[in-house]
Structure 1
């Protein structure tokens, strides 16, 4: 019995020593070499975050656990403007942001958001996967950020209201509408004679609920996932702007990754972006019916009078001068003559 006890004690001691020696190595093997934060302003249920979760898992697997992408949806790390500052400083490594809001830092990023420019998705992807997208990514690079090749889809933006449907440009006169923190939006609605208020997305629901503004404009997917139908009555399918999300990286953090990991991360981000585009298109196809069932009243105005109003108000001429001939030529190569 004493021999057995001695043998057992030796075995236990050996196990303890072995565990002490090898445990740190096991822990290090399981811990990611690079752990990066990715922030966005959309609800967890939006296709962006659904695809981001898949993307993060695929990246972790393909890098054998070396790269771990932590996702922070619904503006958890701050407002759009706050998170953009964190991205620039390196507090956040990745951030998806509308080019229209990005224009507060990169002025020409918003050229893709000119009002009533794109007639349909075919023209959008031809431009953003082609010359126009390449031009904007080049502009973004001047500010210490890296934009992935494929812009993600936010969708064509529609106008909601608690007071009246928007049928003609006249309906926008003196209309209190929330717009993102972006000069282009403010400028466009001022051209219509509206009263635009720049409010970060995280505060939109409460601003509508408390009647600080009477309406807002966003793609159907966001109107649905953010439950804006609870505080709005009408939805006018104005398709007034196409909007996307550039998947942005802090340049220092991006270049700190080994080339093989950068390749895997970029490949998966771009692939997820294309899947998210298809998700949003499918979602938009069914959303009108779903939102109607929730009480939103839909109408579809003719875009031509709105475009004519902007032209007459000097909106296109103003932004051609601001963006410059190069940017405007690239835009008109994609969508036709505007100004």
Structure 2
């Protein structure tokens, strides 16, 4: 007959309790089953955003010793921007970068920085986005079940390309068939100039230009190069008509389940990568122009004052102020100056 002492029994019980507590700890759970997240966006794999994201994802994996792995799916592999926003909110997709103007179809305040000719240089842009304007927009994003990371990524100042003629003055936009994102603000912007904007997702833009559904499009130089629009366009007019950035977003449903220490690692590396990517765009713009010129794209400069004056004669700025509200408009003008 086996005899078990009371002391031995208590020791065994204590061991089981300790083991149970250990198994419940996030670190052990992570080691047993690494957390795997999907990251989607609409940009080509060669775009500077995806290059910096890849570096950040590798750094996150290294620091967490494999406890957190993130798989990047560029170029709309997980669906259109609208699809990915729906997936983020439901928790089917964990992470994504989203252009602010596209995000504005769900959160109107997100397109505040895309108002035509509001910003004239990067000093104003980053003062606003790292300051009160960014804070205001993040608050609006959080209300719809998304978690915005603090540092915004640069999509750059937008330029107009064309297969028919250069855009040198506001008059050159009249009846011009231009592809724009599925964003009401930019439809309104080009409509105000008398153009004929066509809303087409980015992954369909090349074929739309190739088949003449649109004669032109507008995007930053980095995207014009990475999407190879120079193959179906002849002219690039440096209008700087609008600035846009990318928000790095997490599904709120998923974010709440991620251990705090892993959240902090992601915040650290993704925010640092965003600031590196900002520098990439500034340094690369001159190179982008040289490369695009070597591929046959003809560049021309424009005067922003002429376009802004023409826009001010329409109801565009008045309508934008009504849409965004007095609080948002006051914050925008604090950094951009008096517009409209």
Question: TM-score normalised to the size of structure 2?
Answer: 0.90
Structure-2 change in CA distance of 1:299 and 1:31 (3 Å): farther
Q: After the TM superposition, list the runs of 4 or more consecutive aligned residues in structure 1 that deviate by more than 4 angstroms.
A: 28-32
Q: Secondary structure at the match of 2:96?
A: strand
Structure-2 change in CA distance of 1:33 and 1:300 (3 Å): same
2:327 counterpart residue number: 326
- Give 1:30 deviation, angstroms: 7.0
Deviations 1:304-334 (A, max 9, x none): 1111111110101101011000000000000
Q: Secondary structure at the match of 1:155?
A: strand
**Mean CA deviation greater in 61-70 or 206-215:** 61-70
Q: 2:269 & 2:60 partners in 1: Cα distance? A: 7
Structure-2 change in CA distance of 1:64 and 1:172 (3 Å): same
- Give 1:256 deviation, angstroms: 0.7
Q: Does 1:201 align with 2:229?
A: no
1:236–1:298 CA contact under 8 A, matched in 2:
yes
2:72 counterpart residue number: 71
1:33-112 correspondence to structure 2 within 5 Å: 33-112=34-113
Deviations 1:179-236 (A, max 9, x none): 0001100010110011000000000000000000000000000000110000000000
1:169–1:192 CA contact under 8 A, matched in 2:
yes
Q: Secondary structure at the match of 1:245?
A: strand
Q: 1:209 & 1:197 partners in 2: Cα distance? A: 14
2:89–2:253 CA contact under 8 A, matched in 1:
no
1:113-132 correspondence to structure 2 within 5 Å: 113-132=114-133
1:223 counterpart residue number: 224
Deviations 1:73-116 (A, max 9, x none): 11101111111111111111111111111011001111011011
Q: Can you give the 5+ residue segments of structure 1 that lack an aligned partner in the other structure?
A: 1-27
2:337 counterpart residue number: 336
Q: 2:275 & 2:296 partners in 1: Cα distance? A: 32
2:150–2:271 CA contact under 8 A, matched in 1:
yes
- Give 1:29 deviation, angstroms: 7.9
Q: Secondary structure at the match of 1:331?
A: helix
1:168 counterpart residue number: 169
Q: 1:227 & 1:320 partners in 2: Cα distance? A: 36
Q: 1:65 & 1:328 partners in 2: Cα distance? A: 45
Q: Secondary structure at the match of 1:69?
A: strand
Deviations 1:287-316 (A, max 9, x none): 111111100000011001111111110101
2:261 counterpart residue number: 260
1:250-329 correspondence to structure 2 within 5 Å: 250-329=251-330
Q: Secondary structure at the match of 1:213?
A: coil
1:32–1:65 CA contact under 8 A, matched in 2:
no
Q: 2:33 & 2:278 partners in 1: Cα distance? A: 30
Question: TM-score normalised to the size of structure 1?
Answer: 0.90
Q: 1:61 & 1:159 partners in 2: Cα distance? A: 41
Q: 1:132 & 1:108 partners in 2: Cα distance? A: 10
Q: Secondary structure at the match of 2:292?
A: helix
Instruction: Give the length in aligned residue pairs.
Output: 312
Structure-2 change in CA distance of 1:221 and 1:31 (3 Å): farther
2:21 counterpart residue number: none
2:140 counterpart residue number: 139
1:32–1:68 CA contact under 8 A, matched in 2:
no
- Report the RMSD for the aligned CA atoms in angstroms: 1.2
Q: 1:175 & 1:88 partners in 2: Cα distance? A: 36
Q: 1:37 & 1:223 partners in 2: Cα distance? A: 26
2:109–2:324 CA contact under 8 A, matched in 1:
yes
- Give 1:33 deviation, angstroms: 2.3
Q: Does 1:158 align with 2:159?
A: yes
Deviations 1:30-79 (A, max 9, x none): 77521111101111111111111111111111112111111001110111
